[in-house]
Chains A and B, each alone.
Chain A
Amino acid sequence: MTDTVDTTITAAPSVPAKGEYVPPTFGDSPEGTHVWQRVPYNAGDYGPVTDFTTDFDHADPAYNPNAPEVWKELRTGGCPVAHSDRYGGMWVPVTHDTVNEVAYDTDTFTSRAVVVSVGRPGDLALPAPIGGAPPITSDPPFHGMARRLLLPAFAPKQIEPWEPEIRALCNRLLDQLGDITPGETIIDAALQYAQDIPVNVIGRMLGFPEQDEALFRKFVHDVLERIAEEPGTRDGMDDLGNYIFAQIQDHRANPRDDLTNYLINVEIEGQPVSDEIAGGMIILLLIAGIDTTWSAIGSSLWHLAQHPEDHQRLLDDPEVMTFALEEFLRTYAPVTMARMVAKDTDFHGCPMKKDDWVLLPFPAANRDPLKFEDADTFIVDRQENRHAAFGLGIHRCLGSNLARLELKVAIEEFTKRFPRFELAGDTRWSVGQIRGPRELPVRILEVAG
């Protein structure tokens, strides 16, 4: 079993606890750096993508709005694995089989870094098999040890009791929209609703101040959307490290019953985890739990705004949500992961070199017609749905039970409150590996009486 604890490995003690936050160092070689660039970065080296087969860029502003078309073109054009020189070299499998193969081969494809960017982790960054934000950045066997620390907090029976609070939060946000005139009032379902739900829940689980929620969204933007910027200029990364470090200090001085206190006190192999590892786990929970679910909620509402028949079905037959929820996740899966090539390898004829990036678009796997009937069609009660929205293999999304609950409740409360709504202007999509609407203006056509 993949999560078995291997007692022969001593991972934590190699990284000493630090008394202060140390900002990262940058360079053009792995030696002596936290972050290095394989090729010098020059703003403007690359223009808009004209051919995703040979010049793939998921940060191209045209990618996320049109991603399903891009995947389809690659597949039908006979290109199961695209390539790009951007980010110092990147490969992109787009079929279910190839995505699955990369996800399962943790020897060839390391998780040490999972956000493709100009910079790669250097010698001074936490090494494999730990990585900077365990366990998402970890490989076996450390991965299983770190994951087992976190799994119980996110198991279904721990998450289910949050439902009433999430429902109350959704209704509070809907109330805050103020007076609605059906047929006239336009609200932003991403900015005024979706983006506020997951950040509130994970912030409370971690025991972070509620007034810092806007800051958390900035951290997410810094980490996940500013990927094409020169590493040394991404000052936002420093802000995140500093913030987490300060929270750890505060939780140590004023212990309370939350996930942060749990994580700074856990042991791996009988050794206390270092601040660096605890901080990495906290960063993971904060970053991974925010724009991912916010994106799924936004995309689902974007769909319903254009498909009143699906909306009506949810109102007429609430039981169908069991299937609709998974179909929202399949069709609009927000999360593309990434790996780094651990050793030179030939992957279906692709000559992959050590330290190449491999983008892992689970959303593309979910649209593969070889795996799903009518793959590009949303079928509200699809019965067979082995979607990969939460990944495949040992890195299955740790927060999937929480994400699913937030998505379900957010859709239920919005669709009940507003039995009819439609798009009212341009949807602005995110940039980078997390795909979802960042601005979603909708006109409310009916308010529940």
Chain B
Amino acid sequence: MRVHLDSEKCQGHNRCYALAPELFDVDDFGQAVLLVEGEVPDELHAKARLAASNCPEYAIKITENDS
């Protein structure tokens, strides 16, 4: 699984930071910052999906591996 953050769409609602702080941080302006590069560890898959499905601006996308 990979997580993609569209910083153009992010408006700083901070829902991802609240739900998945292991995957998202916030900068000094309150904008989301993605913490993981590449594959998301298995134990964080649920949190990644939660963050994506609560973003009011649809700024977070998940791509699942085909395997």
Is residue A383 contacting chain B, with contact meaning CB distance below 8 A? yes
Kindly supply a per-residue 1/0 record for chain A positions 142-176, scoring 1 wherever the CB is within 8 Å of any chain B CB and 0 otherwise. 00000010011011110000000000000000000
Q: For this complex, into which size category does the number of interface residues on chain A fall?
A: 20 to 34
* With A1-B8, A155-B30, A322-B19: A385-B54 Cβ-Cβ less than 8 Å: yes
For B58, the closest partner residue in chain A by CB is A386
Q: Compute how far the CA of A327 lies from the CA of B64 in the bound complex, rounded to whole angstroms.
A: 28
- CB-based contact B54/A386 at 8 Å: yes
* With A396-B12, A400-B13, A400-B14: A157-B53 Cβ-Cβ less than 8 Å: no
- CB-based contact A155/B29 at 8 Å: yes
Is residue A387 contacting chain B, with contact meaning CB distance below 8 A? yes
For A155, the closest partner residue in chain B by CB is B30
* With A148-B29, A322-B19, A383-B50: A388-B14 Cβ-Cβ less than 8 Å: no
Q: For this complex, into which size category does the number of interface residues on chain B fall?
A: 20 to 34
List 29 contacting pairs A-B, 8 Å CB cutoff, sorted by A. Answer: A1-B7, A1-B8, A3-B29, A151-B28, A152-B29, A154-B30, A155-B12, A155-B26, A155-B28, A155-B29, A155-B30, A156-B17, A156-B26, A156-B30, A157-B28, A322-B18, A322-B19, A326-B54, A383-B53, A386-B54, A386-B56, A392-B11, A392-B57, A393-B57, A396-B11, A396-B13, A400-B12, A400-B14, A401-B30
Is residue B55 contacting chain A, with contact meaning CB distance below 8 A? yes
Is residue A208 contacting chain B, with contact meaning CB distance below 8 A? no
Q: Compute how far the CA of A335 lies from the CA of B12 in the bound complex, rounded to whole angstroms.
A: 18
* With A151-B30, A152-B29, A400-B13: A386-B8 Cβ-Cβ less than 8 Å: no
**Interface residues, chain B, CB within 8 Å of chain A?**
7-8, 11-15, 17-19, 26-30, 50, 53-58
Apart from A1-B7, A1-B8, A155-B26, list 20 A-B contacts with CB within 8 A: A2-B11, A3-B29, A148-B29, A151-B12, A151-B28, A151-B30, A155-B29, A155-B30, A156-B30, A326-B54, A383-B53, A385-B54, A386-B53, A386-B58, A387-B56, A388-B56, A390-B56, A393-B11, A394-B11, A400-B13
* With A322-B18, A386-B54: A151-B29 Cβ-Cβ less than 8 Å: yes
